[in-house]
Structure 1
């Protein structure tokens, strides 16, 4: 059967490629010189586009740095929605987190050079504030997803509590991994340390948490 998914047109593909190129160039400049030291005009010149073009794709300078923000915010919720029958929400999210660590994924922070990325964030107050907002929005999105998947009522505290704990665990592991990378530890050792921490976290939480919102078979 032929796929019914819409095909990306030439115009849409060109816009996507331009957006990615501008973001990649901006990120390189930010990492080399620091976020606050780079201007939109310099980014536009380096990308060979106008300042207005940069703003058309990225309304704020912070948007250039966090160019995949919506994807990151929705990621834990997507894992919950796509979990297998018989699998709980927490085990789906934690299982994917474990896979990210083992695969040395950027989402787990276990990548060579990622410490430089995090230093850039911590040296710019606006980026640090944006990252904290991103984490808050991730927890809020996950809370809504869990409530829907579990059929929870408006007064049920479990969706918010489970979402908050899952995002907290993920953030703790990510921060620990990026600090280790920045301190010179290898991605391999960093990943092993993160996996041990994840094992410990799973022994500390309750079975009710781990088995919340099991997808019907």
Structure 2
């Protein structure tokens, strides 16, 4: 990275960190972009050069979140079930207390800020919708075994599958949020969600590969019948 790019990244980080500190202290709707700029020591236009909207200041890792599930699907090993890939990533994150899941002391205030702001709640929904759309695109580009040769007729199925996978992932994170905001210790929330997420994703995976399993069973029966026929005619 060049010196210019390094300085730009440092400026972006300083703006985002300062904005979050102000939002935590005063709330999202009570802080203006001009106040953020003044605390950083830059112009308001500079802030908007890095963050097109005020909501972008709060969700400064939005692009990473929106592309996470799609990236997992694209980067998975050939023949690997996309549901299993996303399941295992979530379970590993839970085991490691990944900060992105909200299992850290500062998460409660972060979620409270979102809860208190209609604009942030709307943006949070948009992020979820974009993540689901990106996942649907990734599934079309790198389909599961049951759709190894996708055509236009398969695309609605893959879009629905993306909705089921992304919805299950969002539901797991939402349940963590609900539990922590209700006062449950993060470790307890994690220990409750991990087995539930495992079971939910396994059910999705089972359904996804049910037709493949049925085909394998049918092939096995045909093979057994062929052997019996050969013995009969021997």
The equivalent residue for 2:162 is 163
Query: Could you tell me how far 1:97 is from its partner in structure 2?
Result: 0.9
Q: Which of structures 1 and 2 has the bigger CA Rg?
A: 2
Higher relative contact order (CA 8 A, sep 6+): 1
**Distance of aligned partners of 1:149 and 1:61 in 2 relative to their CA distance in 1, 3 Å threshold:** same
The aligned counterpart of 2:113 is: 120
State how 1:87-106 maps to structure 2 within 5 Å. Answer: 87-106=80-99
Task: Give matches, 1:69-148, under 5 Å.
Answer: 69-148=62-141
Paired residues, number? 206
Q: 1:210 to 1:175 in 2, by over 3 A?
A: farther
- Confirm or deny: 8 A CA contact 2:83 2:201 kept in the other structure: no
Structure 1 residues 13 and 211: CA distance shift in structure 2, 3 A: farther
Q: Which runs of 5+ in 1 are unaligned?
A: 1-7, 213-217
User: TM-score of the superposition, structure 2-length normalised?
Assistant: 0.82
TM-score normalised to structure 1 length: 0.88
- Which residue of structure 2 aligns with residue 183 of structure 1? 182
Residue ranges of structure 2 left out of the alignment (5+ in a row)? 144-148, 212-234
Runs of 4+ with deviation above 6 angstroms = none
8 Å Cα contact 1:97-1:108 kept in structure 2: no
Structure 1 residues 138 and 46, CA, compared in 2 at 3 Å: closer, same or farther? same
Tell me the C-alpha RMSD between the 2 structures.
Answer: 1.9
- Please identify which structure carries the higher helix content: 2
1:31 maps onto 2:24 in alignment: yes
